[in-house]
Structure 1
Amino acid sequence: MPWSARSVRHAVAGTEPGERALRAARAARAVLRRQDRVETSWLRGAPPPRLMRRLPVILLIAITVFQIIVSRRVDLGFLIGAIPPLAALSYGPLGTGVFSVIVLILLWVPAVRLGQPGNTDLLTVIFVALLSVVIAWVRARRDAQLVTVRTVAEAAQFAVLPPLPPRVGPVHCAGLYRAAQHGTLVGGDLFDVRQGPYGVRALVGDVQGHGLAAVGTVAALLGAFREAVLDQEDLTGIARQLDRRLVVDAEAAVRADHAERMEYPSGATLSGAEQGEWAGAADGQKPSGEFGRSGRSGASGEPEHSEHSEHSEHSEYSELFATAVLLEFSSDTTEVRIVSCGHPPPLLLGGGRPPYELVAPPGSPLGLGIDGLSRREAMTVRLRPGDRVLAMTDGVTETRDAEGVFYPVIERVGRLAHKSTSALTDAVWRDLVAYADGDITDDVALLVFAPELPGPEGPEGDEGPEGDDGPGPRRGSRRGED
């Protein structure tokens, strides 16, 4: 589709010819992996199917041949008048005009006169043919505008959440993203993987809400994360920066909404000082003086709905939040640090053992404004060759089957753990769709990280899990980085 090609061109611009082909193939796969959720039907803007383009030709030939066979006994000439409107659905004005001319020749030229049309019938067919050409022209222009709009929208969405590269530093990556809202590439889930001065860092999160309404929060979090990767020395510092970003955005949203809803007293003339007071109220300051009392008071002179207003502002403030899990792979990839912000824990795969959850010390979600009250801690996990980390959003863990049973992540992913890194996310997605019988109503994000370890036996002193009989916790350390 044309908008897919545009996205691929943006992804491969500025590379050498040899590398460009490889990047083009990877970008195309990434685009298609996210677009298979976006593809629309013909009635929703997709190109018409081949059958619709062949149908006018088939009907034209069939009606003509059948009319010749039955001669004058049966008049089928009126059916041929439906071909121009049918052609307008799948052809442009030129193609529709060609079909219209052929229909008029078959109905009007005495040598090949089809059926027994009268003068009124011919005038009606001529009018319908001209109208069909106009409709085809309007439809062609609308389709061109739709392609342009979707191209821009897709480019903007991929700018917010670009395709995941197959490798970031020493860590191989594979990801899958499905937005709950049809026709979109970005929803309320987010992910990013960046290499910085302190190692390879990854973010997997889920903002409150889903669909296009959550895209603004997703963009703010991703922007803050990309800056924090370069500036913050530890993961808890990144979590604090993300939390502050959402808190500031929530406060700004409350102020903007307050300014929009604020009403001036009817019939009142504001002086310069009073205008200044109301302008200050837009920044959270309460108007003072006689005007402030008269403008916001009832018969008793007390402010009206003050309790309701405070509750409304507090509610709007607390609605903007997100859960997230932060990961950091050390420069030698022998360990991974994890910070949880109220997010489902990632899974550790490898060693021929069942996957198990890497449950980091619980931390509060981002944006609640209680970062100083809830101390986040990082958990460090040692890695061995072949280990992989699978991170996901609650679109996976909270998917239910027809009986309302949650998706058993550990059990089902364990059956698929033999898949390669690039194939694992697709396999989990297909299994998730089959489990829910196609009824998945939340955004879904899956990311697999496969770090390259320095040697086949792992780092010195790494004995792996305690015991070989089960998926016990890795020997590592939990430490607070605050």
Structure 2
Amino acid sequence: MGPTRAPQPRGRRWLRALPAALILVVFALDFLTPRGMRVFPLLAAAPVLVAPWLSLAGTIATGGAALLAAVLLPLVRGRLPFGVDDIVPFSTFVTLTLLAAVVNRLLARERRQLRNTREVAEVLQRAVLPSPPGRIGPLTVAVRYEAAAREAAVGGDLYAIHPTSHGVRLMIADVRGKGLGAVRTVNALLGTFHEATRRAPDLPGVVRWLEERMQEVKRAEGGAGLETFATAVIAELSADGSTLCTANRGHPAPLLVHRGRARPLEPATPSLPLGLADLGVPDVPPDVPVDRYALPEGAVLVLFTDGVVEARDHRGVFYDPVPRLSRPLPPDPDHVLDALLGDLYRYTEEHLDDDVALLAVGLSRDAHDGPGGAPAVRPGEADGGRHPVRDPSGPSA
């Protein structure tokens, strides 16, 4: 399935009830205040207050309802609706309603332009990130891309997955910045990853190809130091889906979802993001730590960009995807990503401050060789024992 938006929670329905609530509050204040005091100015402000939120018809209807309330209030209190002294307030009332209508139209046009720009950005983003096939060998694949609510620029989030003779290699990354510069870097990384997956004999080789490409991008842009970089997770799944190798370059840890439990696959050795190798020892190629895990059958591997873990609720508390995915879920990547995004939108009240890219692969029950789906590589045997396979269900994960 392509990067389609997950079902989102419904909008803020309380905004529709705001005009009626405001008028009721004014009625209550009129009865609670002495007769000499007038609450007419509060009613006159009603259409202006709701103009940013309601439609043009709703704004004008609010003005009409407020005017009707202004006429009824004196009658209920035993006064004449309007006198000579009320001509100026009444004119002000009409003027404010017309002003609210103008403000409503201007804001609606701005929102429409922003929405169109964001849609163009999403189309461009999806053109840069074509959807992978839904199944690659023994793996089922799902991806999602969600554009930030506050931005209309193309982001630097990317994902890729390719079958090779070494297994299925995949990557998720987040390039610093937005706009055309980020798009150029995204294209450079995607092209390099595609080439490296075919030519590099191992995962560290793929990472070195990507690092060299990032250094070329930095030189071409005249960048230095911390100006240009990308966090990334580069991974390789064995041909039978039993073993996962990951190289984490300063990126949020992937999650392994299995039997109602989500486990973060934290790297044993932290590494700098891609593009920052020049900060190390000169002329010495940096080591590429690789973590290896034995994967159970029916598990789902979820990779995501930092837009997920940096999302906040109204109190400013960061979102944690582990509790949401630590529930009984079908071992289906599409279902897992929909559940995660639905919960993320509820948590943030439908407002993402950064783009979100997600890639999930499901290890089908027939992916493993041997009886009972036992892993083809036992812990400690991978690569001659030099890089022991970690059990993701254990405390080390």
TM-score band by shorter chain is: 0.5 to 0.7
Distance 1:460 1:241 in 2: 29
Q: Relative to 1, partners in 2 of residues 1:436 and 1:153: Cα closer, same or farther, differing over 3 Å?
A: closer
Q: Relative to 1, partners in 2 of residues 1:439 and 1:375: Cα closer, same or farther, differing over 3 Å?
A: same
Q: Does 1:443 align with 2:351?
A: no
Q: Relative to 1, partners in 2 of residues 1:211 and 1:444: Cα closer, same or farther, differing over 3 Å?
A: farther
Offset of 1:443 from its aligned partner?
0.9
**1:180, 1:211 within 8 Å by CA — same for their partners in 2?**
no
**1:236, 1:378 within 8 Å by CA — same for their partners in 2?**
yes
Q: Does 1:234 align with 2:234?
A: no
Offset of 1:179 from its aligned partner?
2.3
- Give the structure 2 partner of residue 342 of structure 1: 250
Secondary structure, aligned partner of 2:373: coil
**1:400, 1:436 within 8 Å by CA — same for their partners in 2?**
yes
Distance 1:466 1:237 in 2: 24
**1:393, 1:446 within 8 Å by CA — same for their partners in 2?**
yes
Offset of 1:213 from its aligned partner?
4.5
Offset of 1:416 from its aligned partner?
6.0
- Give the structure 1 partner of residue 274 of structure 2: 366
- Give the structure 1 partner of residue 177 of structure 2: 209
Q: Which of 248, 264, 267 is the matching residue for 1:357?
A: 264
- Give the structure 1 partner of residue 49 of structure 2: none
- Aligned residue-pair number: 272
Decide which structure has greater helix share: 1
Q: Which of 109, 131, 138 is the matching residue for 1:163?
A: 131
Q: Relative to 1, partners in 2 of residues 1:368 and 1:447: Cα closer, same or farther, differing over 3 Å?
A: same
Offset of 1:150 from its aligned partner?
11
- Give the structure 1 partner of residue 375 of structure 2: 459
1:411-430 mapped onto 2 (5 Å cutoff): 411-415=323-327, 417-418=329-330, 420-430=332-342
Distance 2:293 2:342 in 1: 29
- Give the structure 1 partner of residue 101 of structure 2: none
Q: Relative to 1, partners in 2 of residues 1:185 and 1:35: Cα closer, same or farther, differing over 3 Å?
A: farther
CA deviations on 1:361-412 (whole Å, 9 max, x unpaired) are 3211001133746422111101121122111111011111111111122112
Distance 2:377 2:245 in 1: 18
Q: Relative to 1, partners in 2 of residues 1:151 and 1:402: Cα closer, same or farther, differing over 3 Å?
A: closer
Secondary structure, aligned partner of 1:218: helix
Q: Relative to 1, partners in 2 of residues 1:238 and 1:439: Cα closer, same or farther, differing over 3 Å?
A: same
Identity of aligned residues (%): 36
Q: Which of 318, 326, 331 is the matching residue for 1:406?
A: 318
Higher Rg of the two aligned structures: 1
Offset of 1:459 from its aligned partner?
2.7
Q: Relative to 1, partners in 2 of residues 1:428 and 1:228: Cα closer, same or farther, differing over 3 Å?
A: same
**1:184, 1:212 within 8 Å by CA — same for their partners in 2?**
no
CA deviations on 1:17-37 (whole Å, 9 max, x unpaired) are xxxxxxxxx5xxx26x16999
Offset of 1:450 from its aligned partner?
1.1
Q: Relative to 1, partners in 2 of residues 1:203 and 1:320: Cα closer, same or farther, differing over 3 Å?
A: same
Q: Which of 158, 173, 187 is the matching residue for 2:141?
A: 173
One-letter amino acid of the counterpart of residue 252, structure 2: P
Q: Does 1:192 align with 2:160?
A: yes
| Highest RCO, 1 vs 2 (Cα 8 Å, sep ≥ 6) | 2
Give me the CA root mean square deviation.
3.2
Structure 2: stretches of 5+ with no match in the other structure: 9-115, 380-388
Q: Relative to 1, partners in 2 of residues 1:430 and 1:211: Cα closer, same or farther, differing over 3 Å?
A: farther
Q: Relative to 1, partners in 2 of residues 1:181 and 1:367: Cα closer, same or farther, differing over 3 Å?
A: farther
Structure 1: stretches of 5+ with no match in the other structure: 1-25, 38-146, 255-312, 475-482
Offset of 1:236 from its aligned partner?
1.2
